[in-house]
């Protein structure tokens, strides 16, 4: 079990200094009782890193850990309660993959995700959904505003209540670079509204940069830092030009695609530099799953709130979130597999042909498929019936050709894998 702790008092040894931060490697039986904000007495060998990274200077292999006191900070205690109830609710789900994804989205902990699911998310450009990010915090902020409007609360009261909620969530999921950036921007936006001042995204983002770099001067060299702020700048500076280029107008779907494309254009060069490849599927994948993300987040958070209050609907909310998260997993898997179908795809154009007079109450319609690519020249026709009696009574026109019903060689799957069947 790994935790991070900050030294306040040194009882022995010469290497450690007050204010230093180290990794704590505790035994499983010790780490289970540890919580964020605890004051500890730790005894064990200290290993100093050759180079400090992320503000961490070394690692302590604990031989003895004693909890002196728990935190009295109400926000941290609320964050710990949120994490505990959320874990209990997700662990009760029968679908382990959905439970792991919800824990990643709602708690910032994606360690339970299967390796193949993580790979699918990376290939499709959806990896940002697997851990808490600025997107998730923005969804929470919007959810709080929506609840306030439904309750007809004054906007100023809603924004004032939003601040501790966002801070608690940021503490619960860990103050990562994306979460810290989004929290600072959201709090500055709320403050601007409450004070009657104009809000500008670029200065607010600059303030977040200053806070992060002040806390950790080496943060700017991290990939997470670069991707986080590149995406924010891409949306701020490129969204409108991309939206105009697409001719989005009032289309919400195109506007969402423009936001995704703007972010991908900004982060693409950084991803290519660090990882050597860029997902071309990312805009489409994000367009398909982003409508599901707010629902999954909202339902899982409602489950946590109802679970804390001991209300019976908590499980129902979490099961609904799991059902929708399965859709996100399915999109990632399908998009990741799509490139592997090259050379085994069916290309066809479908036409609908009316067979019976237009005055009939139940008009018979034939669906004619004209194939392209490797299957060029093939044409098939299909008619669907409401009952078996209607099917038996149907007399096909002469141009229908050979009857193929029941011949598995002519299914789309068989044609894609094996091509045109050889004649008997």
Domain boundaries, the chain: 2-71, 76-221+279-340, 348-418
User: Quick one: pLDDT band at residue 210, thresholds 50, 70, 90?
Assistant: very high
**Average pLDDT over every residue of 275-288:** 76
Please tell me the predicted confidence (pLDDT) of residue 379: 92
pLDDT at 220 over 80: yes
* pLDDT (average), residues 69-95: 86
From residue 65, give the alpha-carbon distance in Å to each of 3, 9, 34, 43.
Answer: 12, 15, 9, 7
pLDDT band, residue 324 (cuts 50/70/90) = very high
pLDDT score of 359 more than 50: no
Q: Is 216 helix (H, G, I), strand (E, B) or coil?
A: coil
Residue 125, Cβ density class (10 Å: 0-12 exposed, 13-18 middle, ≥19 buried): buried
Lowest mean pLDDT among 14-28, 56-70, 288-302, 310-324: 14-28
Residues near 220 by Cβ (< 8 Å), separated by ≥ 6? 209, 212, 213, 226
- Output the pLDDT for position 33: 66
The most confident of the ranges 70-84, 267-281, 368-382, 385-399 is 368-382
**Average pLDDT rounded to a whole number, residues 82-108:** 88
The CA distance from 251 to 170, in Å, is 32
Count other C-beta atoms under 10 Å from residue 34's C-beta.
17
Res. 26: pLDDT tops 80: no
CA angle 86, 295, 176 (to 5 degrees): 55
Fold classification of 348-418 is: Hypothetical Protein Pfu-838710-001 (2.40.320)
Going across the sheet that includes 21-25, the strands are 2-6, 21-25, 56-61, 46-53
pTM above 0.75, yes or no: no
Which neighbouring-strand residues pair with 4?
23
Query: What crossing angle do the helices spanning 314-337 and 282-289 adopt, rounded to 10°?
Result: 160
- Kindly state the DSSP code that residue 250 receives in the 8-state scheme: T
Q: Which of 230, 138, 135, 149 is nearest to 190 (CA)?
A: 138
Mention every residue, 6+ apart, whose C-beta is less than 8 A from residue 334. none
Q: 251: how many CB neighbours lie within 10 A of its CB? A: 13
Q: What's the pLDDT band for 408 if we cut at 50, 70, 90?
A: confident
């Amino acid at each position: 079990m790994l935790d991070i702790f900050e030294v306040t008092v040194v009882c022995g040894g010469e290497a450690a200094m007050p204010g230093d931060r180290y990794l704590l490697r505790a035994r499983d039986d010790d780490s289970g009782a540890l919580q964020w904000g605890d004051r500890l007495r730790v005894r064990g060998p200290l290993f100093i890193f050759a180079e400090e990274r992320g503000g961490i200077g070394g690692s302590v292999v604990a031989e003895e850990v004693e909890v002196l006191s728990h935190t009295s900070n109400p926000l941290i205690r609320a964050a710990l309660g949120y994490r505990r109830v959320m874990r209990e609710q997700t662990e009760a789900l029968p679908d382990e993959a959905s439970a792991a994804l919800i824990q990643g989205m709602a708690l910032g902990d994606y360690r339970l995700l299967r390796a193949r699911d993580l790979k699918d998310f990376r290939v499709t450009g959806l990896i940002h959904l697997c851990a808490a990010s600025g997107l998730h915090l923005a969804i929470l902020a919007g959810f709080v505003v929506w609840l306030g409007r439904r309750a007809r609360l004054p906007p100023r009261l809603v924004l004032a209540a939003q601040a501790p909620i966002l801070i608690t969530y940021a503490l619960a999921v860990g103050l990562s670079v994306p979460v810290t950036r989004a929290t600072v921007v959201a709090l500055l936006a709320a403050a601007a509204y409450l004070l009657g001042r104009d809000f500008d995204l670029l200065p607010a983002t600059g303030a977040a940069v200053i806070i992060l770099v002040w806390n950790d001067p080496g943060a700017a060299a991290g990939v997470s830092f670069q991707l986080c702020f590149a995406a924010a700048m891409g949306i701020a500076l490129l969204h409108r030009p991309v939206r105009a280029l697409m001719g989005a107008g009032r289309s919400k779907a195109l506007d969402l695609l423009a936001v995704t494309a703007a972010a991908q254009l900004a982060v693409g060069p950084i991803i290519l530099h660090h990882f050597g490849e860029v997902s071309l599927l990312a805009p489409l994948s994000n367009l398909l799953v982003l409508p599901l993300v707010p629902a999954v987040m909202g339902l899982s958070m409602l489950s946590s709130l109802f679970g804390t209050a001991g209300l019976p609907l908590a499980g129902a909310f979490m099961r609904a979130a799991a059902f929708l998260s399965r859709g996100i997993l399915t999109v990632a898997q399908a998009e990741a597999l799509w490139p592997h179908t090259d050379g085994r795809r069916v290309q066809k154009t479908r036409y609908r042909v009316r067979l019976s007079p237009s005055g009939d109450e139940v008009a018979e319609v034939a669906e004619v498929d004209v194939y392209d690519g490797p299957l060029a020249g093939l044409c098939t026709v299909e008619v669907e019936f409401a009952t078996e009696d209607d099917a038996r009574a149907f007399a096909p026109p002469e141009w229908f050709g050979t009857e193929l019903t029941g011949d598995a060689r002519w299914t789309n799957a068989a044609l894609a894998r094996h091509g045109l069947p050889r004649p008997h």
